[in-house]
Amino acid sequence: MMQAFFQRWWRDQSELVQDTVKKLVSSGQLELINGGMCMHDEAATHYIDMIDQTTLGHRFIKQEFGQTPRIGWQIDPFGHSAVQAYLLGAEVGFDSLFFGRIDYQDRAKRKDEKSLEFLWQGSKTFGSSAQARLYYFPCLCFNNGTSIFAGAFPEGYGSPDNFYFEVNDDSPIVQDDINLFDYNVQDRVDEFVAVALSQGNITRTDHIMWTMGTDFKYQYAHTWFRQMDKLIHYVNKDGRVNALYSTPSIYTDVKHATKERWPVKTEDFFPYADRANAYWTGYFTSRPAIKRYVRMMSSYYLAARQLEFFRGRSNLRPNTDTLADALAITQHHDAVSGTEKQHVANDYAKRLSIGYVECPLLNISYCPPSEVDLSSGKSLVIAVYNSLGWKREDVVRIPVTTKSVAVRDSSGKEIESQLLPLVNASIGIRNYYVKAYLGKSPSNEPKYWLVFLASVPPLGFSTYIVSGTKTTVTSSTISTAFTPKEGVNGTIVIGQGNLKLVYAVDEGMLTQYINKRSSVKASIEQSYNFYSGNDGSDKDPQASGAYIFRPNGTYPIKSEGQVPLTVFRGPVVDEIHQQITPWIYQVTRVYKAKEHADIEFTVGPIPVDDGIGKEVATQITTTMKTNKTFYTDSNGRDFIKRIRDFRTDWDLQVNQPVAGNYYPINLGIYMEDNLTELSVLVDRSVGGSSIVDGQIELMLHRRLLFDDSRGVDESLNETVCVDENCQGLTIQGNFYLRIDPLGEGAKWRRSFGQEIYSPFLLAFTEQVKEILEVAYFIDIVDLLPQEIIVSPLQDGWTSSHQSKFSGMAPSYSLPDNVAMLTLQELEDGKVLLRLAHLYEIGEDKDLSITASVELQKLFAHKKISKVTEMNLSANQGRAEMERKRLVWTVEGAPREEAKAVRGGSIDPSKLVVELGPMEIRTFIVDFLS
């Protein structure tokens, strides 16, 4: 399942073995399917990571075996996403997609209706009848390039019961030595035939698939093949059924050849329950720290490949390959999902950490390069890199040790900045975690966060210089601080720009959201609760654990006594600090230049001294009439409509009114009424829902004391230790809240969503030194090609270094509805480029239209010689993929099928790429050298 292991094995084999394997692959006896570096998760993964890891795996298979995998094989993930079906399935060029886990109620109905196999059309945009036209009518055939033939297995993904043949398995071997007591040929044949006929009864066509094996099997393949040889021999001799060795491709082809008609499935397969009280919705949030780490690295990997391209890739220097491998395997369905054992989670984190160069603990105010002593006249140089294809303004935030600082831009002009005190809660976490992670306490203690607004060109960087000021008069503004006295009533309003948040002082609570510009004004509250995790002692024994969310009670988290509410105000940002409990601290920020609230939570250590595991959620509560309806994204890409206590495909029997309504969130969740829409965007994969109308809920952290019996065999009880003194892990993170007039929310969700995914990348150095001794900086700036250094400025470091740069043509930027997913120099010097339209059909009145990108303008410093469009994973030409695509027949009456709006082919003389809504196009670009 994990190509990373296959590759490790492969490198270790003799040429003889390699040749044998190649022959088996070439003959089709051994088929490489799925073909990513791992079988990625489908809930906690971002679509960019899914594409990257699949591309990486497919490249290896193409190089070593000359093969393009035909089959999607997601047999173990715990629910299946729409993006997997249409994007990582059809757009990759897969002919079918198979998986093992769907909801037990769904499975039962599909068995009844023989609909475990179907055509899955996962994309609303590409499948929408809004732009319908008759396609291949009247043959009822279709494949518009976004649907895929899919099969859910009748039971799990292993062999049928009693057909397991590992050395120590209990299934009876086929004993065909008549002299032995356990001779059992007829028994085994009868059982084989019975199981086959039973499966035949719930399957369309005469063909069924048995997946012989399961986890941890084939450690000695001979024990299996020996028995399967015998079974095939004796079963075929018996003659009631015909058994043969096959592969998913052969199976797909024979299914296709039957010309059977298949039902159509839309949307996705979330949430997944394998029985009544076992919803696998806990893992949407499990291990929130590694989930955030993966997202940070994903962003970093995107940016680092851009920089690598600008400088020119070399295998002689450290390059992005190590990170590519680490990030790819971390997409595994027992990695980013949070469902691995602790020591495995540690290994993933270790691999990710290798090659990462930014201040990794900046979020908890630890960043030695920024904490230099500026009092002696030194200056701190900050290069701010923007990996987005748009010019961008965003707030930079670094810890500093003195309040006597000023910030200048690359032109030498002083810009507005603000100092916020480092509060005690932050210092405590900083000191503890630095000790925990580095093994020593930080030597410095910064006193302030310095914040300022940086402006950076697309695919480029700007330089800012922070200097100590010699007088006691500081140029940076120190925030005003205010803590209401106990017993005082009234309200506090924060926000220097269009957005205002109103707080009730007596309760210490958010009460109103007001946007002056859009005239949105809404009552709003925000609160925390926790679910007590079931300990597995019920009559139906099922504990809440790494996989499964099974609450057995809901408890609001109320402050003990008055909420300590403190306000900091300044020219860049206003902040509200709330110590909600000793283990929940929250900062709400409203930036003058932004129209959303940025909520930073610090949750943990979750107390479990009472022997009760807790799953901590936050609720945003409004008076909106949302009629059970909300929207969550699919792998950060499409939004899917969710209706509480409802499934499109069957009549839902509700056993778990909370856990059964949880969905995975990678980009965001929103709800709407007839006036407004409220969106919440997230900084990592989390679980969320709308359990009551007008409310959105996110699960932020989980600490549980029992194993949920799905294989991890540990309780999900993450701890952090200093000197063998351990405490529950504290999670710090952000979510972002905005209310828009109805129909206007998508713009923010899509464009700010990109900013969350791709924050500024910072690098630091000091100005007084000639030699760049601070490694953090080199890694970005030294990646730049020397010949494109431009316009040295007068001042110190900037006089000998480039201080501002964009990879694109001057003043060019991508359209607002397009993002660059991949810019990567390959080993052969060609460049892999992926462009994505960010909007679904009908999502935004202005932006859900075809966009155009002028390719040559993306590459200001190179000359394009050739552009080849590829399939999504770039292992075959797009045209070739489309030519091979199988066409399937739909059951039921003739129906109109959408023809997706897609960009046309590229005119080599113009090099303009068109993208229809939701379209992602992948190119190999050759340059003149």
Q: Is there binding between residue 220 and a second copy (CB under 8 A)?
A: yes
DSSP 39: -
Q: 20 or 623, CB closer to a second copy?
A: 20
Length of the chain counted residue by residue:
929
Binding span for a second copy by CB under 8 A among 219-227, 233-241, 621-629, 685-693: 219-227
569 phi/psi in degrees, rounded to 5? -125, 150
Q: Is there binding between residue 8 and a second copy (CB under 8 A)?
A: yes
Touching a second copy, residues 796-855 (CB under 8 A): none
Question: Within 13 Å of residue 710, how many CA atoms lie on the same side as its CB?
Answer: 27
CA angle 869, 873, 878 (to 5 degrees): 30
Q: 177 or 610, CB closer to a second copy?
A: 177
Q: How far is the CB of 14 from a second copy (least distance, A)?
A: 12
Report the b/e string of 877-901 with b at 16+ CB within 10 A: ebeebeeeebebbbeeeeeebbebb
Q: 352 or 781, CB closer to a second copy?
A: 352
Q: How far is the CB of 354 from a second copy (least distance, A)?
A: 10
Binding span for a second copy by CB under 8 A among 88-96, 176-184, 288-296, 695-703: 176-184
Residues in binding contact with a second copy, number by CB under 8 A = 12
- 88/98 Cα distance (integer angstroms): 13
Q: Is there binding between residue 219 and a second copy (CB under 8 A)?
A: yes
Touching a second copy, residues 340-359 (CB under 8 A): 347, 350
For residues 122 to 161, the per-residue mask of contacts with a second copy, x marking binding by CB under 8 A and - elsewhere, is ----------------------------------------
Helix (H) or strand (E) segment spanning residue 160:
none
Q: Report DSSP letters for 744-765, one per residue.
A: -HHHHHHHHHHHHHS--EEEEE
Q: Is there binding between residue 225 and a second copy (CB under 8 A)?
A: no
Q: How far is the CB of 219 from a second copy (least distance, A)?
A: 5
Question: Within 13 Å of residue 198, how many CA atoms lie on the same side as its CB?
Answer: 11
Q: 291 or 351, CB closer to a second copy?
A: 351
Q: Is there binding between residue 15 and a second copy (CB under 8 A)?
A: no
Q: 177 or 651, CB closer to a second copy?
A: 177
Q: Is there binding between residue 609 and a second copy (CB under 8 A)?
A: no
Q: How far is the CB of 176 from a second copy (least distance, A)?
A: 9
Binding span for a second copy by CB under 8 A among 85-93, 175-183, 436-444, 815-823: 175-183
Residues β-bridged to residue 702: 615
Q: How far is the CB of 221 from a second copy (least distance, A)?
A: 9
Q: 316 or 893, CB closer to a second copy?
A: 316
Q: How far is the CB of 712 from a second copy (least distance, A)?
A: 18
- 335/337 Cα distance (integer angstroms): 5
Binding span for a second copy by CB under 8 A among 4-12, 727-735, 767-775, 802-810: 4-12
For residues 555 to 594, the per-residue mask of contacts with a second copy, x marking binding by CB under 8 A and - elsewhere, is ----------------------------------------
Q: Is there binding between residue 167 and a second copy (CB under 8 A)?
A: yes
Give the 3-state secondary structure of residue 174.
coil
Binding span for a second copy by CB under 8 A among 6-14, 127-135, 258-266, 419-427: 6-14
Binding span for a second copy by CB under 8 A among 188-196, 214-222, 766-774, 847-855: 214-222
Neighbour tally for 522: CB within 10 Å: 15
Helix (H) or strand (E) segment spanning residue 681:
strand 676-682
With 0-12 / 13-18 / 19 or more C-beta atoms within 10 angstroms meaning exposed / middle / buried, residue 447 is middle
Instruction: Sort strands 278-279 and 273-275 into parallel, antiparallel or unpaired.
Output: antiparallel
> What type of residue is 52?
D
Q: How far is the CB of 11 from a second copy (least distance, A)?
A: 7
According to CB under 8 A, which one of 112, 177, 610, 770 is a site residue for a second copy? 177
Helix (H) or strand (E) segment spanning residue 408:
strand 405-408
Residues β-bridged to residue 825: 831
- Extract the tokens encoding 493: 């309003």
Touching a second copy, residues 398-427 (CB under 8 A): none
Binding span for a second copy by CB under 8 A among 105-113, 177-185, 421-429, 587-595: 177-185
Q: 349 or 924, CB closer to a second copy?
A: 349
Binding span for a second copy by CB under 8 A among 5-13, 369-377, 400-408, 787-795: 5-13
Q: Report DSSP letters for 103-147, one per residue.
A: -HHHHHHHHHTT-SEEEEE--HHHH-GGGEE--STTTTEE--SSE
Q: Is there binding between residue 181 and a second copy (CB under 8 A)?
A: yes
Q: How far is the CB of 220 from a second copy (least distance, A)?
A: 4
Q: 179 or 786, CB closer to a second copy?
A: 179
3 state SS for 455-488 = EECCCEEEEEEEEECCCCCCCCEECEEECCCCCC
Q: How far is the CB of 573 from a second copy (least distance, A)?
A: 42
Are 163 and 171 contacting, i.e. CB atoms less than 8 angstroms apart?
A: yes
Q: How far is the CB of 168 from a second copy (least distance, A)?
A: 8
Q: Is there binding between residue 893 and a second copy (CB under 8 A)?
A: no
Q: How far is the CB of 216 from a second copy (least distance, A)?
A: 9
- 314/457 Cα distance (integer angstroms): 26
According to CB under 8 A, which one of 16, 178, 180, 893 is a site residue for a second copy? 180
Q: 11 or 883, CB closer to a second copy?
A: 11
- Extract the tokens encoding 410: 């690359």
Please enumerate in sequence order all residues whose Cβ is within 8 A of that of 677, keeping only pairs 6 or more positions apart, or say none.
Answer: 670, 671, 739, 740, 741, 742, 743, 744, 745
Give the 3-state secondary structure of residue 46.
coil
CA angle 436, 442, 444 (to 5 degrees): 160
Q: Report DSSP letters for 197-209, one per residue.
A: HHHHTTSSSS---
Chain-centre distance for alpha carbon 928 = 36
Which stretches of the chain bind a second copy, using CB under 8 A? 8, 11-12, 167, 177, 180-181, 219-220, 222, 347, 350
